[in-house]
Amino acid sequence: MDILDTDLENIEQGDHCASSGRKSHHSDKTKKNLVTRLNRIEGQIRGIKGLIEKDTYCDDVITQISATQAALNSVAKLLLEGHMKTCIVERIQEGDHEVVDELLVTIQKLMKK
């Protein structure tokens, strides 16, 4: 089981979005994991800035940018999967089928990147 599978299991075990208040309810463990990942990404961004300031070879900088994008995509994937398995399912069960259009817009935003 990889990290994403573990995180999705945590989401499925109680992390869900409140459909009325449009607020997510992630477990403390999931929030800590997401913040840890984002802190790591923030460090990668600072590292890329430092590489540019040091006139590092362009290909090396691009490689670091690619790694950072992959890490950010991993966070987005985790959130999207959890959102679909909880928030979207709940809202459909409540009869709110407009949530599918919202989901499609969200997926389109992610695919532009």
| 113 DSSP assignment | -
What six digits make up the tokens of 54? 């040091």
**In whole angstroms, what separates CA 65 from the centre of its chain?**
17
Question: Within a domain: residue 4?
Answer: no
| Range in 9-18, 67-76, 91-100 the model is least confident about | 9-18
Is pLDDT at 2 greater than 70 in this prediction? no
CB 78 within 8 Å of CB 7: yes
Residue 53 lies in a domain: yes
Q: Which pLDDT does position 82 carry in this prediction?
A: 85
Kindly state whether residue 18 falls inside one of the protein's structural domains: no
Residue 106, domain extent:
26-112
Whichever domain contains 77, its CATH number is 1.20.58.1000
What is the C-alpha radius of gyration for the chain, rounded to an integer number of angstroms? 17
Residue 1 counted as domain residue: no
Separation between Cα atoms, residue 111 and residue 105, nearest integer Å: 10
Reported residue count of the chain is 113
Number of structural domains in the chain: 1
* Mean pLDDT, residues 86-112: 93
46 inside domain: yes
Please tell me the pTM assigned to this model.
0.76
